Amino acid sequence: MFFRKRKDQEQAAIAAPSDEPSMPHRVSPRSPSEAIKPTAAPPPPDRPVRERGGLLSTISGLLTAAVVLAIAAMIGVTLFDRQIREPGPLAADKVVVIPPRSGTSEIADALSREGVIAHTALFEWASRFSGKALKAGEYTFKAHASIGDTIETLSTGRQVQHAITFPEGLTSEQIVVRLNDNDILTGDINEMPPEGSLLPDTYKFERGATRQQIVNLMRAKQREVLNQIWLRRSAEIPVKTPAEMVTLASIVEKETGRADERPRVAGVFVNRLNKRMKLQSDPTIVYGLVGGRGTLGRGIQRSEIDRATPYNTYVIEGLPPGPIANPGRAALEAVANPSRTKDLYFVADGTGGHAFADSLEGHSRNVARWRQVERARKETPTDAAPVDKAEPPSDPSAVPGRASAYAPDGTNFAGSAPDPSAPRPKAFDASEGTKLDPLRNKTFDLNSAKSVPALKAQ
């Protein structure tokens, strides 16, 4: 029993699993040298075969594909960005007009024809990916502008700015002629602007702007400037309304083109108004004869000086019924704050300006000096023919009370036919219609009619 029990215990011990790793089987060495040799490691166990499920495999494949596509997209975007930033083929700056209602393809074709871009497809893709709306208009593209620069120019809408300039003193009719002569502007003007309602200045516009838009802008600017100047006018000026200020400013504008003289000329007319003297301004004669046309193209004759018109300040008292031109800001400022002098007369001094006097005697001396200048000019005739001015008489005291110029004696009276044998009246101080004209302007009708004296019998 004792030995049987021992044998059973040994079998149970052999059958029971052990937590300790089993030692490799060691072969008994045959010799001492073999005993000191290391034993060979056992071979690794076989790797178990893992079976992957269908969903897990699909997710893994998708992730792998996404990574590959992301890398490819990054490479593509980098190359695409490099392409649209490369300098374009345009050798020099160029202005290109993109017609209205053009699509991306039409814009690409137009730019390709003008040599701005080389690849229309690349431009279309770039514009669509940018998400920016391309605008029609007239644009300046810089030399070697890239596709990105071109898209930026078209999307911001920074178009070429054109300019049109209206000198001070043009009539509304003359301004409309200039607008109609401009071939960049479009459309028609609805109606003739009232005289004096437009502010002469330089106005900028884009291609496609209408002529009526420029007129509206000029009228808005005139109202704005007039309101500002009216608020800071002198309390001593004898004008009661902004409209009267525009009328007087238009006369000042037409009398002198020199900025330093405007306040003093305005002071002469203010003094005459305060003394109830007739203004006797030559430009009012011209406007009464030709209206918005603006110029006679010759000197003023005696018959025209005495001809009664609503605007002739040699005949009517006070201001005419409306402006005779469109005065600029400086003329309006001069009337609002004229020079404080006692001057009542002025005459051309031969240098483009005027000599002023506060008495008829002083005026006579200024006229005598002008006569000397006139005689010197006769000896050295010039090509420029003076127009729209009357010549002062040799003896101003014979016809007292006139502010600036006088018609020469011996000319015809209003309503009579000119004498062919009589010498043609002279003129001075060239103005409208010549290359020396600094006085061109426009004004508006104030609807404050003045009484017109009856024409004298022939």
Nearest to 287 by CA among 323, 336, 339: 323
> Whole-model pTM?
0.67
Buried-state track 303-324, b at ≥16 Cβ within 10 A, e below 16: bbbbbbbbbbbbbbebbbbbbb
Dihedral sign, Cα of residue 312, residue 267, residue 294, residue 405: positive
Dihedral sign, Cα of residue 254, residue 256, residue 260, residue 264: negative
Rounded CA separation 334/118 (Å): 59
Q: What is the pLDDT at residue 425?
A: 36
Contact assessment for residue 108 and residue 154, using Cβ atoms and an 8 Å cutoff: no
Q: What is the pLDDT at residue 9?
A: 54
Q: What is the pLDDT at residue 384?
A: 52
Q: What is the pLDDT at residue 422?
A: 42
334's CB contacts (< 8 A; 6+ apart) are: 249, 252, 262, 263, 265, 266
Nearest to 388 by CA among 171, 192, 201: 171
Rounded CA separation 441/374 (Å): 27
- pLDDT tens digit at each of 458 positions of the chain: 444 555 555 555 555 555 555 555 556 667 777 777 777 777 888 777 666 557 777 887 788 888 888 888 788 677 767 778 889 899 999 999 999 989 999 999 999 999 999 889 999 988 888 888 999 999 999 999 998 999 999 998 889 999 999 999 999 999 999 999 999 999 999 999 999 999 999 999 999 899 999 999 999 999 999 999 999 999 999 999 999 999 999 999 999 888 899 999 999 999 999 999 999 999 999 999 998 888 888 888 888 888 999 999 999 999 999 999 999 999 999 999 999 999 899 988 878 889 899 888 888 888 888 888 878 877 665 545 556 666 555 555 544 444 543 333 332 223 333 344 444 333 333 333 433 343 333 332 333 333 333 333 33
Rounded CA separation 374/370 (Å): 6
The angle, 0 to 180 degrees and rounded to 10, between the axes of the packed helices 211-231 and 329-336 is: 20
Contact assessment for residue 399 and residue 435, using Cβ atoms and an 8 Å cutoff: no
Helices (H), 348-402: 360-379
Q: In one letter, which amino acid is 384?
A: A
Q: What is the pLDDT at residue 272?
A: 94
Q: In one letter, which amino acid is 138?
A: E
Let me know how long the chain is.
458
